[in-house]
Amino acid sequence: MLKSLWMAFRPKTLTAAIVPIIVGTVLAYAHTKEYSLNLTVLALAASLFIQIATNLFNDVIDFKKGADNENRMGPQRVTQSGMMKVANVYLTASLFLMAALICGIPLVIRGGEVILIIGILSLLLTYAYTGGPVPLAYKGLGEVFVILFFGVIAVAGMYYLQTLRFHWDVIVAGLQIGFLATVLLAINNLRDIKQDKEADKKTLAVRFGMKFARTEIAFLILVSFTLGFYWIFKGIYFAGALPLVLLPLSRSLIRATWEETPGPKFNHFLAQGALLHLAFGFQLSLGLIL
């Protein structure tokens, strides 16, 4: 049971929930030389719980809609494989949403209406990402969702919780982190392009084809690094320079997704993308502190 749950959590994707919270906290510390560890821990827990709930809803809804079937090339899904019953997956997802809500109460008390709005939208879109009348992932809007909620909004929200103010730096940092989080989705969609097309899941890869999907991955990665010039122009040289050590990994990932035919090998590329996202967040955070 525990193994099934861990698989359903999709651990390779959880960097999307962790990195923006860390970057937002570090950016606040870089500006004010102060931060609250309690706020960071609560926000990190809420973000992880929302990400896990999203993955669980995605697991069961993709199965019910036929996007996950016996021909699946990605990691095994617990609903499609029969490892967990549909009702149990829904129940587990709901429990994680409730846990996120509980963690969010002190955050709303601290941040007020701004954090309340972000929290409500995050909870609603946890299900609406793949479910509801307008499922974002099935309409080609998954990338927009990830860039915003696992990038700009997450970094800005964490920064606001720490400082109770806004700064334009959070937009740049949020875009850098959000673009790299979206790389994970883009790799996933390229791998599953055939099954998604059959299930009428109109991801950007399905809508515009494999060449577009490969270009999207390269674009998201390269723009994340290019935005580093913002920090250099501001005189925060380490924040722009330290992530550059990851260029060889980035080049390898771009080249692999261009040369390989979508298939099980893309699960390895997904892990590489998660490593790139996590390492970039660490290097950016270190650069902001230095």
* Dihedral, 197, 201, 205, 210 alpha carbons, nearest 10: -10
Tell me: the pLDDT tens digits for 67-126? Answer: 666 666 666 677 777 677 888 889 999 999 999 999 999 999 999 999 999 999 999 999
CATH topology of domain 2-289: Farnesyl Diphosphate Synthase (1.10.600)
Q: For residue 250, is pLDDT > 90?
A: yes
Structure confidence at residue 134 (pLDDT): 85
Mean pLDDT of the residues in the chain: 92
Tell me: the pLDDT tens digits for 136-145? Answer: 889 999 999 9
* Helix/strand/coil for 7: helix
At 5, the pLDDT band (50, 70, 90 cuts) reads confident
Q: Taking residues 41-59, report their average pLDDT.
A: 94
Among the listed residues 283, 288, 227, the one whose alpha carbon sits nearest the alpha carbon of residue 29: 288
At 7, the pLDDT band (50, 70, 90 cuts) reads confident
- This prediction's pTM: 0.94
Q: Taking residues 246-252, report their average pLDDT.
A: 97
Supply angle C-alpha 253, 153, 215, rounded to 5: 25
DSSP helix, strand, coil percent of the chain (3-state; round to 5):
80, 0, 20
What number of CA atoms fall less than 13 Å from residue 47's CA on the CB side? 27
Amino acid making up residue 27: L
Rounded CA gap, 155 and 163, in Å?
12
CB atoms inside a 10 Å sphere around CB 182: 27
Rounded CA gap, 106 and 194, in Å?
44
Structure confidence at residue 73 (pLDDT): 65
Rounded CA gap, 74 and 80, in Å?
12
- Cβ-contact 173, 158 below 8 angstroms: no
Among the listed residues 274, 273, 275, the one whose alpha carbon sits nearest the alpha carbon of residue 256: 273
**% of the chain exceeding 70 in pLDDT:** 96
At 11, the pLDDT band (50, 70, 90 cuts) reads confident
